[in-house]
Structure 1
């Protein structure tokens, strides 16, 4: 069930039996020479939509712009400042909480969002604590599609040390499963991209000229993406149900 394809009476009826919702969140940023700019939003979105179909949970529109300032030296990348993303998360949570949603599960595809989303959660909890209102803040969770145990096992099996940290063969494979007509297999040089720390966008571009970090996305395939998709759907159903039951 998708929020943007529902009417308000549909949502009112849904809230009579469930107070949970999945909010996909990602980024719009470069993913190397053969990775889609929307990779980090596409991955959680396609998995979340399937989870919604299988277990009847409501899925919100994807928050497709994240904290990606370090990618801005590559054309097409779009970023929020951390303070902007915190404000967006707070407004989304407060909007949903006003209607009665009590279990809000942010399903993430971009590692650069993690610290900022957790900071937003801290702001939301702090606001409830300081105001001393009679109603607690909603239960919030941030989960990453690529960290599920089934997904991790397949990534290790297929890609081992070639997975890397950015523009990984796993995430690119999943986008090719979702959009096979956009698959761009290619051989890359060097095969394995360098790895190191980085700071701002200029520093990132100098250290990683083609956008990859430690990865070899030439290993990506549609077939691998299909396996990762099924694994992530299973991981997410398991994790979401545990979240709702313990909230």
Structure 2
């Protein structure tokens, strides 16, 4: 049930069979010279759509912006503050809860450390503020890496490499502009670098050359399976 396409009557009908909503978070962030800036958002939203084909599930419109620190100097990246990100999630959950939803699965396609922590912090605060809700906060990339380990040839693949290129080749092939060289950036340990692009010029972390649409299709399905499992677990008890 894609909320953005529903009428208010259809939303009410949906509440009769489901009290769980999937909220996808993404980013506007560079993904090399070959993938769109919306890659993280696309991945998170497509997984929610696949999961909703398998079980009753509300899927909220994606949040397109995130906190992007390592890529902040790369062309096209639009980053928001962690305080803004937290406020967005909290306001969205409060509003959906007021509409009758009680189980919330937040899945982020962007895996930046500060971004993830902001969402987790917001979730922790929400479960204290709203005692009736259940909540999960997960990273799409971690699920893809875990479930698709047998498919991934690139060791240390993390950003715009084999995994993400495969995913977009499958779901949005018209947005893939060829490929890009393999790249493995090496940031200095502990030092806060102003010009991060000087340590990561191509914006790739992995090997896009090993990607394929076939891998992307399998990865998307495997991650959707994990989301279904997570939803069922969340609905099984009051956490």
In the superposition, the TM-score normalised over structure 2's length comes to: 0.89
Deviations 1:28-81 (A, max 9, x none): 100112222111111010111111122121100011111114322112111110
1:234 and 1:176 mapped to 2: Cα distance? 20
**Residues 109-128 of structure 1: matches in 2 within 5 Å?**
109-112=109-112, 113-126=115-128, 128=129
Distance 1:49 1:198 in 2: 39
Q: Does 1:218 align with 2:209?
A: yes
Aligned pair in 2 of structure 1 residues 36, 201: CA closer, same or farther (>3 Å)? Answer: farther
**Contact 1:52 1:58 (8 Å CA) reproduced:** yes
**Where in structure 1 are there 5+ consecutive unaligned residues?**
129-134
Q: What is the CA–CA distance in structure 2 between the aligned matches of 1:200 and 1:68, rounded to whole Å?
A: 14
CA contact (8 A) 1:124 1:137 kept: no
1:168–1:200 CA distance, 2 compared to 1 (3 A): farther
Q: Gaps (5+ residues) in structure 2?
A: none
Q: How many residues align?
A: 235
In structure 2, the residue matched to 1:228 is 219
Structure 1 residue ranges (4+ consecutive) displaced by more than 4 angstroms after TM superposition: 197-201
SS in structure 1 at match of 2:202: coil
Rounded Cα–Cα distance in structure 2 between residues aligned with 1:90 and 1:117: 9
Corresponding residue for 1:143? 138
Summarize the alignment of residues 79-98 of structure 1 with structure 2, pairs less than 5 Å apart: 79-98=79-98
RMSD: 2.1
Give the equivalent residue in structure 2 for 1:66. 66
Whole-angstrom distance in 1 between the partners of 2:186 and 2:204:
9
Map 1:1-247 → 2, pairs under 5 A: 1-112=1-112, 113-126=115-128, 128=129, 136-148=131-143, 152-163=146-157, 165-186=158-179, 188=181, 191-196=182-187, 202-213=194-205, 215-247=206-238
Change in 2 beyond 3 A, CA 1:209/1:179: same
- The verdict on how the C-alpha distance between 1:204 and 1:137 changes in structure 2, with shifts beyond 3 A counting, is farther
More helix by share: 1
Secondary structure of residue in 2 paired with 1:158? coil
Q: CA deviation at 1:109?
A: 0.8
Q: Provide the C-alpha distance between the structure 2 equivalents of 1:137 and 1:27, rounded to a whole number of angstroms.
A: 30
Shift of 1:103: 0.2
User: 3-state SS of the aligned residue for 2:66?
Assistant: coil
TM-aligned CA deviation for residue 146 of structure 1 = 2.7
Residue 187 of structure 1: how far off its partner (Å) = 5.0
User: Structure 1 residue 157: deviation in Å?
Assistant: 3.4
